[in-house]
Amino acid sequence: MEKKTVFTGAATALITPLTEEGIDYAAFERLINWQIEEGINALVVAGTTGEASTLSDDEHRDAIAFAAKIANGRVPVIAGTGSNDTEYALDLTRCACEAGADAVLSVTPYYNKATQKGLYQMYTRIADESTVPVILYNVPSRTGVNIAPKTYEALAEHPNIVGIKEANGDISKIVETMARVRGRLDLYSGNDDQIVPLMALGGKGVISVLSNVLPRETVELCNRFFRGDIAGAAELQCRYHRLIDALFSEVNPIPVKAAMAAMGYCEDYLRLPLT
């Protein structure tokens, strides 16, 4: 079963530039263009780093459509469309498809703590209805639920489920997952401090917070690995370790938003309860 690889390398989990009035679309356009000029391989819009949880419904939809319009096919745009309400996740997914997104990223449902059966059924419904590829997003530290390797194996049978953003941090479980789905689901690191380890397991790259700040350098880290320069990739992984730690010194996206504001790409503005 041949599946589409959405991207290889580094995708930036983009911040959403905000002001008291709403999304700063002029800043958003500058940010998208700069990321593409720096050679980023894909963009993720309205995800965790993009403060999707505090965007209004209209803002969420508009951010996806705007990013797809500005990217204009230069790089894939992956829309964050996950929710703990399956019907709302389906609605966002339909909207992303209509807006021109190249794929959707669907986080596990949070707070209601679904069973593995519930996860399987929810993702199957989303993949059935989506007209673009679906990437699963597993981040149990935020959602309270972890996709089991056996569930990944079952979901890998769906032709429209193409990848995993894995942020559970448990290398042993990730090894088990890859043993079950290798060649059927593309693996992307969801943790910037584990890019090289996950690529060593056959991963296709990273969905990155770091690349908001260092897009070219994060792409180069991945490229070194894919060129066979494993030592060079590992050197960059270690070189950026302290910066990665700083970007997660408070809950994401507080530090990266401050960093991007210092670089002149947005206001240092977050919506409550983030400060």
Residues labelled as active-site residues? 137, 165
Q: How far is CA 116 from CA 110, 153, 275, in A?
A: 13, 12, 34
Residue 204, CB half-sphere, CA atoms under 13 Å: how many? 21
Take residue 238 and report the two structure tokens written for it: 């270690």
45 φ/ψ angles, rounded to the nearest 5 degrees: -115, 140
| Cα–Cα dist 42/37, whole Å | 12
How buried is residue 197: exposed, middle or buried, by Cβ count under 10 Å (0-12/13-18/19+)? middle
Beta bridge partner(s), residue 2: none
Residue 65, CB half-sphere, CA atoms under 13 Å: how many? 11
Q: What is the DSSP string of 185-205?
A: SEEEESSGGGHHHHHHTT--E
Structure letter (DSSP) for residue 74: S
Take residue 156 and report the two structure tokens written for it: 């890998």
What is the radius of gyration, based on Cα positions, of the chain? Answer: 17
Strands 205-208 and 42-45: unpaired
Q: Report residue 190 CA to chain centroid gap.
A: 7
Instruction: For residue 197, say if its preceding peptide bond is cis, omega within 30 degrees of 0.
Output: no
Take residue 138 and report the two structure tokens written for it: 């597993």
